[in-house]
């Protein structure tokens, strides 16, 4: 569904000396430098897949999404989405995709969200029957009923974001590009939005590419992640693989007591819980040692938190 | 296209009607704006019977066409094209560019400022009165005047679009817009009051005379096929150049960081 080959975006950014002298000088002599925001990346995404596109600020995530939606023209390389070249901005292509940006809104501020939906119905040429069906479905799934007819300016951030999602999905796109879709939301609304995105993916077999700094989003919504840093893809694979490759190890949590735990170096957490973080290849050996001496013990093996994994991933790669 | 246009106009009107009290102030402002524009010409005609060969109804016709354009500029060009600069700076243009419709059409017509409907109404009324006073007008003159007026508006739209396209590269071009609106103010006077050089500048540079004097001259029967062809050529050139500039600007669009 999405094919990316050697995709590159180079920005020409003006630079100037700091202070008033620099400002004045830049009036007649401006210097530029080239910034490779995306540097020859390759990946592909199958139809119906949900992929997390992760990276620190300025890594090139949003630039990539904007190239995949046709907003930016690549400096080199190529991309195809659902068979189209995005930068050609064919109308059928634009009817196939949607882009939700958590920090931007398409809803008309002074009018109820239903009026933006009506405008999108005209813009996307959605047949009336399909519009009524989709609207009713989205209203139910996102619990929009009670505020659909209130001016957008009177809605809370969570209500607005739910309406944004509905506005972006009225035309039933097959490819969703979600840029920080849960940013600024409270935990309850985040859960609704995540559940909704998963349901949409399953119901319409839609392909989803998601960027987020919220690791709960990633853990809940995607199975595969692509890590990008300084415009280069650093990792492309499963979440589990990511933990294996960049995690500091796996954590064993034991409820109980015994000399073997002290010998292996477990530290006390709370109550009678003890914890030890070890490399994945030592897990079976340590489990064997514990179970030989404490066969009845309550024992859990925990993957490292995703935040830690990513911090390590980006930290290591930058060193 | 009509479906999209009517949806955009509907949304625009609804936004305006959200603030009912504003509607009355807008009406008063619009009518006052028209009368203050007419005042200098009216005062001038208290002391003379013609300005550069233009009788009072003829000169007032030029003024009414100017007011008509002014209404289009304030009601359509400013809220749409003027806001493109802001959309680019804040990155919100992205949301319009991913709609499956001609992006130039969307950014040009997505909003109307209904407060200028008053100016529009007053200028149409004024033009009607002036035409009635000028005397009988042939069907050909009337048809040509209408064609040339539309051509003039399209030429000015093209110029606005060209100016706005520069904001893709320089981001802040507010002063260029002010320059355009100020230059367009010259359109309130008949072409013959200006020297040849200025007349050329206001025909082929900032083509405001194509909106005002040229159609008014056609209504007076003062036209030749050469001037008609020349005017249409200039209009076409501005619209064509604007389209090319828009497509090039989109190709080099860098969006805003999020």
Task: Give how far A295 is from chain B: nearest CA, Å.
Answer: 54
pLDDT class for A232, splitting at 50, 70, 90?
very high
Q: What DSSP assignment string belongs to B181-246?
A: HHHHGGGGS-GGGS-HHHHHIIIIIS-GGGTTHHHHHHHTT---HHHHHHHHHHHHHHHHHHHHHH
Task: Give how far B176 is from chain A: nearest CA, Å.
Answer: 17
> B3 and A125 in contact by Cβ < 8 A?
yes
pLDDT at position A266: 86
Q: B39-56: per-residue pLDDT in tens?
A: 888 888 888 888 888 888
pLDDT at position A309: 73
How far CA B114 is from CA of A298, A301, A317, B26, B119, in Å, comes to 72, 66, 57, 9, 10
ipTM of the complex: 0.78
Higher pLDDT, A234 or A20: A234
Q: From edge to edge, which strands make up the β-sheet containing A224-229? A: A97-101, A175-179, A207-211, A50-54, A224-229, A232-238
A61: nearest CA in chain B?
Answer: B258
Lowest mean pLDDT among A57-71, A93-107, A246-260, B134-148: A246-260
Residue A214: pLDDT over 60: yes
Higher pLDDT, B54 or A43: A43
Structure tokens, B227 = 């001037």
Task: Give how far A270 is from chain B: nearest CA, Å.
Answer: 42
User: Is A92 touching B (CB cutoff 8 A)?
Assistant: yes
Higher pLDDT, A218 or A43: A43
Residue B258: pLDDT over 60: no
Residue A81: pLDDT over 90: yes
Domain locations in chain A?
2-244, 249-303
Helix and strand tally (H, E) in chain A? 12, 13
Q: B76-113: per-residue pLDDT in tens?
A: 898 888 888 888 888 888 989 999 989 999 999 888 88
Task: Give how far B80 is from chain A: nearest CA, Å.
Answer: 15
pLDDT at position A319: 45
> A72 and B258 in contact by Cβ < 8 A?
no
Residue A284: pLDDT over 60: yes
Size of interface A-B (CB pairs under 8 A): 81
- Residue A153 is given by DSSP the state G
Residue A48: pLDDT over 60: yes
Residue A310: pLDDT over 80: no
Arithmetic mean of pLDDT, B228-234: 95
> A71 and B254 in contact by Cβ < 8 A?
no
User: Is A11 touching B (CB cutoff 8 A)?
Assistant: yes
Lowest mean pLDDT among A280-284, B3-7, B153-157, B162-166: A280-284
**What CATH number matches the domain at A2-244, 3.40.190.10, 3.40.50.300, 3.60.20.10, 3.30.420.40?**
3.40.50.300
Mutation pick from B99, B103, B109 vs chain A, by most beta carbons of A within 10 Å, is: B99
Query: What are residue A236's DSSP bridge partners?
Result: A226
Give me the helices (H) in chain A, please. Answer: 19-28, 61-68, 91-96, 113-123, 128-141, 157-169, 187-204, 215-221, 239-246, 259-264, 283-293, 306-318
Residue B65: pLDDT over 60: yes
Residue B223: pLDDT over 80: yes
Annotate A87-102 with b (16+ C-beta within 10 A) or e (fewer): bebeeebbbbbbbbbb
> A89 and B95 in contact by Cβ < 8 A?
no
CB distance B164 to B253 below 8 Å: no
Structure tokens, A162 = 């739910």
Report angle CA B178, B230, B119 to the nearest 5 degrees. 40
pLDDT at position B257: 65
CB distance B109 to B81 below 8 Å: no
User: Is A95 touching B (CB cutoff 8 A)?
Assistant: yes
Whether A2-244 shares its CATH topology with A249-303 is answered: no
User: Is A30 touching B (CB cutoff 8 A)?
Assistant: no
Task: Give how far B190 is from chain A: nearest CA, Å.
Answer: 39
Mean pLDDT comparison of A91-95, A262-266, B23-27, B49-53, highest-scoring range:
A91-95
CA atoms within 13 A on the CB side of B163: 24
Percent of chain B with pLDDT over 70: 95
Which of A79, A76, A88, A4 lies closest to A43, judged by CA?
A: A4
pLDDT at position A129: 93
> A124 and B18 in contact by Cβ < 8 A?
no
B106: nearest CA in chain A?
Answer: A123
**What CATH number matches the domain at A249-303, 1.10.3470, 2.60.40, 3.30.1360, 3.30.70?**
3.30.70
**SS3 readout for B32-76:** HHHHHHHHHHHHHCCCCCCECCECHHHHHHHHHHHHHHHHHHHHH
Structure tokens, A245 = 């490759």
CA atoms within 13 A on the CB side of A59: 21
């Amino acid at each position: 569904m999405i094919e990316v080959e050697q995709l590159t975006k180079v920005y020409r950014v003006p630079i100037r000396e700091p202070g008033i002298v620099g400002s004045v000088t830049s009036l007649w002599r401006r210097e530029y430098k080239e910034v490779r925001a995306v540097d020859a990346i390759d990946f592909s995404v199958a139809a119906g897949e949900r992929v997390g596109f992760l990276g620190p600020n300025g890594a090139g995530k949003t630039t990539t999404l904007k190239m995949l939606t046709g907003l930016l023209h690549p400096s080199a390389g190529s991309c195809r989405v659902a068979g189209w070249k995005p930068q050609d901005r064919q109308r059928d292509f634009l009817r196939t995709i949607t882009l939700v940006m958590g920090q931007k809104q398409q809803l008309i501020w002074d009018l109820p969200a239903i009026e933006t939906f009506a405008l999108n119905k005209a813009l996307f040429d959605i047949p009336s029957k399909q519009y009524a069906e989709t609207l009713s479905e989205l209203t139910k799934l996102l619990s929009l009923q009670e505020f659909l007819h209130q001016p957008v300016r009177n809605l809370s951030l969570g209500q607005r974001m739910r309406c944004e999602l509905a506005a972006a999905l009225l035309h039933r796109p097959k490819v969703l590009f979600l840029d920080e879709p849960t940013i600024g939301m409270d935990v309850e609304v985040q859960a609704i939005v995540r559940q909704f995105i998963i349901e949409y993916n399953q119901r319409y077999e839609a392909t989803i590419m998601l960027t987020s700094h919220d690791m709960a989003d990633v853990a809940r919504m995607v199975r595969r992640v692509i890590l990008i840093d300084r415009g280069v893809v650093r990792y492309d694979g499963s979440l589990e693989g990511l933990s294996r490759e960049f995690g500091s190890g796996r954590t064993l949590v034991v409820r109980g007591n015994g000399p073997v735990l002290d010998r292996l170096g477990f530290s006390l957490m709370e109550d009678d819980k003890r914890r030890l973080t070890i490399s994945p290849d030592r897990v079976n050996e340590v489990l064997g040692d514990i179970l030989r001496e404490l066969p009845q013990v309550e024992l859990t093996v925990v993957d490292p938190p995703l935040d830690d994994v990513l911090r390590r991933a980006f930290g290591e790669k930058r060193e | 296209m009509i479906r999209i246009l009517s949806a955009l106009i509907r949304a625009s009107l609804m936004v305006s009607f959200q603030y009912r009290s504003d509607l009355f102030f807008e009406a008063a402002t619009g009518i006052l704006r028209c009368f203050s524009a007419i005042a200098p010409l009216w005062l001038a005609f208290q002391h003379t019977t013609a300005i550069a060969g233009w009788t009072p109804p003829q000169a007032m016709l030029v003024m009414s066409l100017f007011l008509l354009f002014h209404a289009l500029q304030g009601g359509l060009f400013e809220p749409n094209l003027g806001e493109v600069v802001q959309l680019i700076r804040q990155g919100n243009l992205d949301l319009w560019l991913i709609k499956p419709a001609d992006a130039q059409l969307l950014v040009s017509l997505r909003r109307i400022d209904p407060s200028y409907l008053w100016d529009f109404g007053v200028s149409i009324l004024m033009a009607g009165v002036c035409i009635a006073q000028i005397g009988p007008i042939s069907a050909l003159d009337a048809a040509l005047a209408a064609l040339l007026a539309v051509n003039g508006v399209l030429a000015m739209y093209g110029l606005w679009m060209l100016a706005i396209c520069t904001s893709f590269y320089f981001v802040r071009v507010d002063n260029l817009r002010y320059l355009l609106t100020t230059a367009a103010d010259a359109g309130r006077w008949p072409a013959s009051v200006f020297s040849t050089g200025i007349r050329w500048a206001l025909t082929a540079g900032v083509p405001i005379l194509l909106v005002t004097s040229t159609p008014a001259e056609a209504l007076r029967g003062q036209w030749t096929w050469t001037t008609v062809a020349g005017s249409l050529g200039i209009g076409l050139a501005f619209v064509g150049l604007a389209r090319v500039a828009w497509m090039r600007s989109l190709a080099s669009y860098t969006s805003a960081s999020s």
